[in-house]
Amino acid sequence: MEQRKNESRKRFDLMCMNLAHLGLSVLLFYVFWLWYRFGRLTDLPHYGFRYNYYVALGYGVVLFFFLRTYNGYLLGYTRIRALIFAQGLSQFFSTAIMWFIVSLAWKKWNAPWIFFGMLVIQLALDTVWSYFANALYFRLYPVKRTILIYRNELDKKRFGTLRGKPSERLYRIEEEFRYDGYSFKSIRHKLEGYDAVFVAGVHSRCRNGIAKYCKEEGIVGFFLPHIGDVLMQEARHIQSFDAPVLCVTRSELNPEYAIIKRAFDIVSSGAALIILSPVLLITAAAIHFYDGGPAIYKQVRLTQNGREFTIYKFRSMRVDAEKDGVARLSTGDNDDRITPIGRFVRKCRLDELPQLWNILKGDMSVVGPRPERPEIAKQYYEFLPDFQLRLQVKAGLTGYAQVYGKYNTDPYEKLEFDLMYINNMSVITDLQLMFATFGILFSKESTEGIESGQVTAAGGTPDNGQAEVVDYDDEKLREESAEEVKRHWED
């Protein structure tokens, strides 16, 4: 009981820290808003202040949305510079949106230069707060003694990122235990004395025992999910039965959401094509005049229900990049097929802009699973038939896998990311992912290529073009899953 009270007190202290930062940010905006509206901060008029309060409140709501989107308050798990960047980006977008809305309502477009001074002051506040709040977090939550339970080297590798900063300040792995089909009772003693446990590749019965142990003993448990776990997240409780029954069906967009999503795709892609037309023309000209080749590169990709369509991208590689006929992903900065112009285009993500035309046509959506090439998808299907479950919805320009994964994310994890999006599709989720995409534009890791010698994110060699077969799950379960998915798609 005392431990639970301490945890509640810690969470309350951190909540107060977050609210203090949010309140100071709103107050700073309010001061500069009055300055922007009246041109002075002394001898302010006494009329219209209720309207100004509403503007400040609106700014606070929008700012909170962006801080949640960019994890601006994810203390402990995020580097300080990432916190500062997230908070600064949130304040920039919130200020821009409020200025646009009010200017549209007033039909008066005054220059917003005064707010740039606010953002500079806000950046200093964010820096001080981030250092202080992070120090408080580590004082409240000292490093946890941790055990890693895994089945094979692949599972262990998937937890590799937890060994780097800042995770090492939260969890110190003191023991690595290789699981080999043991029951929970036989490994229960291994968990004693630890504050946290990382679990990967463990069969469901043993994993359920570990999860219940974490609940009973109040320790932190991190579990890498299987595909079935992610599918069950979408399950609905059916109240027509006496027993607790969960229903899982194929994901379908409800009519209201489908209409809103398509309307947003048309408006946003059409507006973006008009606004970015100078950038599109300059980029196309630079690519063409560099080597005389075409500026636009066409590829066949897969979208909803496995339908093929032609995707448009700015060409970033040589014209003969796949002269051997083997479809392969980029190896990143070390790929000699990328031209100097293409390197800049890829770094700034300009190569994706022509896909706005695909969105306008209806082949893609702004948010959805990234469209895969049929040749590469076929290789994934050989060892991961469930990969086809990504095709329940229309392909997208951005999505969970693009925001939270990387270019070379393993296909198993990419599938899990995409299923998480499919399980949580909504207007709010789409907006969060859209704005979160701006955050990864400055992340070099998000475009990290595959290893030299691979053709897909799962491995393989250019000689045979085949992906390396990886035992992701129990062999018997994997075969049963493959047959089930095969029958589903045949039907």
Residue 365: pLDDT above 90? yes
Q: Tokens 């636009």 — which residue?
A: 296
Per 3-state DSSP, the chain is made up of helix, strand and coil in percentages (nearest 5) of 60, 10, 30
How does the average pLDDT of the chain come out, rounded? 81
- Give the mean model confidence (pLDDT) for residues 317-328: 67
**Which range has the worst mean pLDDT, 8-12, 36-40, 193-197, 445-449?**
445-449
- Dihedral angle at the C-alpha atoms of 217, 218, 223, 225, nearest 10 degrees? 100
Task: Spell 241-251 as b/e; 16+ CB within 10 A means b.
Answer: eeeeeeeeeee
Element spanning 14, H or E = helix 2-38
Confidence of residue 280 (pLDDT cuts 50, 70, 90): very high
Residue 404: what pLDDT? Answer: 81
Model pTM score: 0.71
H/E run at residue 261? helix 255-275
Cis peptide before 166 (omega within 30 of 0): yes
Q: How confident is the model at residue 488 (pLDDT cuts 50, 70, 90)?
A: very low
Say what the pLDDT of residue 96 is.
93
Domains and CATH numbers, the chain: 2-140 (no CATH), 144-224 (3.40.50.11060), 255-490 (no CATH)
The mean pLDDT of 460-488, rounded to a whole number, is 40
Instruction: Locate 155 and state its tokens.
Output: 């599972």
Question: Among 342, 341, 294, 289, which Cα is nearest to 319's?
Answer: 294
Q: Is 47 left (phi over 0), alpha (psi -120 to 50) or beta?
A: beta
Residue 163: is its pLDDT beyond 70? Answer: no
For position 1, what pLDDT does the model report? 58
| Residue for token pair 């090439």 | 373
Alpha-carbon span 359 to 298, nearest angstrom: 15
Residue 359 CA to residue 303 CA, distance in Å, equals 12
Instruction: Return the pLDDT at 444.
Output: 57
Note the pLDDT of residue 388: 87
Asked if residues 201 and 151 have their Cβ atoms less than 8 Å apart, the reply is yes
CA distances from residue 73 to 19, 22, 87, 382 in whole angstroms, order as listed: 10, 10, 8, 41
Q: Is the pLDDT of residue 479 over 80?
A: no
Position 241 scores a pLDDT of: 65
312 touches 322 (CB < 8 A): no
Instruction: Report how far apart, in Å, the C-alpha atoms of 184 and of each of 228, 278, 407 are.
Output: 20, 62, 37
Q: How far apart are CA 150 and CA 178, in angstroms?
A: 5
Q: What is the C-alpha separation between 67 and 61, in angstroms, rounded?
A: 10
Asked if 123 and 116 touch (Cβ cutoff 8 Å), the reply is no
